[in-house]
Every structure is written in structure tokens, then in C-alpha cells.
Structure 1
Amino acid sequence: MRLYQPYKKVSSDTDPFIIPNFPGQIKLTRKQLPDFVKEETSFAEFYEQVKEAELKSFGVLVNSFYELEPTYAYHFRKVLGAKAWHIGPIFLCNSNIEDKAKRGKEASIDENQCLKWLNSKKHNSVVYVCFGSIAKFPASQLLEIAMALEDSGQQFIWVVRKNKNDVRDNEVLGIGVAVGAQQWARVVDDSVKKEAIKKAVTHLMASEEAEEMRFRAKKLGEMARKAIEVNGSSHSDFNSLIEELRVSECRMLLFPI
């Protein structure tokens, strides 16, 4: 994007363009890009400073594993010439379940109650819905999601958080379903309607492709766990990082700048 600015070569915000010299024939529209990429904003200046600092840095640590997206990991290292070490998923390195459970804000539902409910359901029959800790939804969008989940007829657990007023608020990998969001936004609006969400949930759980997506997700999970084990790709990358830092430090001691 920074090198070729392909979004400037289309006639409208909805015309698709392909990211040049990038694997996978990734198509986007101008509407889907962050404002700081398309326009001169205060954040755009900060973004450029971050990218410049990244280029001058010793390298980049990636909280992922090589096998997840090998084509892009290779492109980043070999084509862009950036040093990178894939050392994740880091959260798998901690096997203490009790420690993980205590992270974040206290849940309003008892853990045993939740597990009891899950154990009463058929295997692979429950949808887990969570948008992380950053995304913010207006009440109207939360209502669309709630109605869609109810209308889908699928069992689900939806993790939501309280807002300040105390009111409770993916394609290359082949393990997700798009729901129709066509515009980038730092704060999510209510543009995704109930029918689109319902269709996506039903497709994810009850379509012919659902089993294949579930199989792929399971295989990726197994690969992630192997990556952090001894001699796994992330484990080896971490050792490689330590060795490069050690060698670099020795050189600086021998040949100070």
C-alpha cells in the first residue's frame, strides 16, 4: 500500500483493486481502507513514524506461527527484506488454566454454571461469539447481532462487556464467514444487518462447508501447539532470535560504534 498506492488508481470508493506484488491476489476497495492510509491525518503521520521506526529496528516479533501463513511470512522476510521471528501463539505457552481464567474483568456468570451448560450440549454444536476488547458497538448493532443469533436456531455463548453506563454491550485461511461489512471503521457502526449475520452463523454451523471449516480450524490448532513445542517452528525462531541478539551484542562489544 505504501509503495504502490493502488487505491489512487480506481475511480470510486467501491471499485475493487488488487494489492500489487503481493501473494494471494488480495482485493480491497478504497472504502475498506483505514482513513490514515488514504488521507493526511494526524494519525497518518504517527503511522509513518511507526513504519520508519520498524524499518530501522533490529527486527519484528510476530505473535503467530510460520505454518499459519507461510507464503506471507516468506514474503515479509525474503521479498520485503525484513527480519522477523514468529514466536507464537504466545498464549499457548502458559498452560496454567487458573491463571488464564483470572485475566481481564471478572465474569458475571459462574464458570461451573457455564461449563455445566456446555456439557449438556452436543459436541461441536455451540457457537462462541467474541469481538475482543477493542471493538465498540452501538446498541442498534448489538440488537441486530442478538436477534440474528436467536433466529439462527444455533446454541451460542456470547461474550460481551459493560460500557461506561453499565449497559452490556476472516477468508485466506478458509475458517470464517464474511457478514457484509464493507467499510473500515475504528468504532463499529450498525451497518451489518440481522439477516447477514444469521446467514453467516447458519453457514458456519449447518452448511456443507461447515465440517471442512471445522476440520481446518482443528488442524490449525494442532499446528499452533506443535509450533511452540521444543523443535517446533516458533520455538526454533525464538532460539534463533536469542542467538542473533547474542551475536549482535558480542559484535558491539568488539567493535563499538
Structure 2
Amino acid sequence: MATTAPPLAVPTRRRRLSAWSIGALIIGALIALPIVAVLAQVLVPSGGAWSHLASTVLPLYLRNSLMLVVLTVGLATAMGVGAGWLIAGFEFKGRGLLQWALMLPMTMPGYVIAYVYFDRLAYAGPVQTALREVFGWGRHDYWFPQIASLPGAAVLLALVLYPYIYLLTRAAFATQSLHLIEAARALGHSPRGAFFRVALPMARPAMVAGAAFVAMETLADYGTVQHLGVQTLTTGIFRTWFARGEP
């Protein structure tokens, strides 16, 4: 009569948390604390204030934030990709200086750019004042772009954030083989066609990564949109949190 042996117990080894793991958990908890606080305020009933915000100003905040991200990412991508291809694909006098100068906007906070451009381009600023004095125009005799607007904020943020895309795409273009571009030219493509059909698709991962950085920085910006009077999620959270105790 055959008997089956009982299965052997596999010894289990308990893993102990190392100091690195504990430190990582503490850092992760500190990083997640603001998000958890906001979600807690949203999910915990608070006298109907949240439902009031959701039915009144929240759609405006969401719409403006989405439009701001789309415009900023689009403008920053155009500037960053163009600058990256110019530096990586062409040789010209002053190229070495220009490739470093194109990174300088990254060192300037967005709200400082907003202060400067708003002060220079406002109705009472020196630019419009000079135009009125030179041409004898009145207030309603000419059109001038409104800097304190959502498109104006997108332009200023793109001027500050495009280096994210510029640095990544420049590196991507610089590592591409020139033989591929030459092959495209030999097959009858123009320089523009070779760029759009060969160089640009190969640099797409770098473009997406840079655009993601720009989108996150745009969503997190407060000083620029606050100074220009654009209502976004960041300004809405700040205002409702401190004025009404709601996120």
C-alpha cells in the first residue's frame, strides 16, 4: 500500500527593514503629506463648502489649468525642438555661446519674468506709453496684446520652461547618426523633409519627457498666474485653503 509523504515545509525567512528602507519610507511619507491633506479635506464632509466650490469655481479652475498646460507645452515644444535642432544640426559662428545662453531662462523664476514683462508691456508701461507719444494714439486707437491673460501666461511660462525640452532634444539630435539624414537626402527629401521624417521621430521620446516636465511645472506654478490674474488650480487651492479652510 503506497503512502504519500507529507509536503515539506519551506522555511520562510523574514526580511527586516534596513535603515535605507526606513529612511525611504519616511521621505515618501513627507512628500505625500500635502497630497494626503488635500485629499482628506476633499473626502471628509465639511458642511457643503466643497460641493459649492465644485459647482461654481472648480470647472473654471480645471478649464484654465488644462488650457494653460496645452498652450505652454505647445509653445515650449516648438521653441525647445527648434533650438535643439539649430544647435545640434548646424555649425555657425557663436554656436558655442548660444548653446549655453539658451539654457539661461531656466535659472529665472517664472514670476520674475511675469513681473518684468507686465511692468514693461502694461498700458502705463514704457512700451505702450512710447507708442502713444510717438504716433499720437489714444487708448482705443490701437490694439496691443494683453499680457495679463491666459495666453500671456502661457507665453511667459514657455519662455522659462522651454530649456527642459531644448536640453533633451539637443542631446537626442546630437546622438543621431548623420548617415540617416544623408540617406533621406539621397532619397530625394528636402532638409525639412529629412527633419520631419527622420530626425524628429527619433527624438520623440526626448520630446515627450521634456513636455512632461513642462506640464508638471506649469501645473505647479503659482506666482506667474497669480500676478497675471489667471485663475488656475494652484491659485484656487491657495485662495480657498486660507480664506475658507477648504482645499
Task: Give the TM-score, by structure 1 length.
Answer: 0.22
Task: Mark the structure with the bigger radius of gyration.
Answer: 2
The structure with the largest strand share of the pair is 1
The structure with the largest helix share of the pair is 2
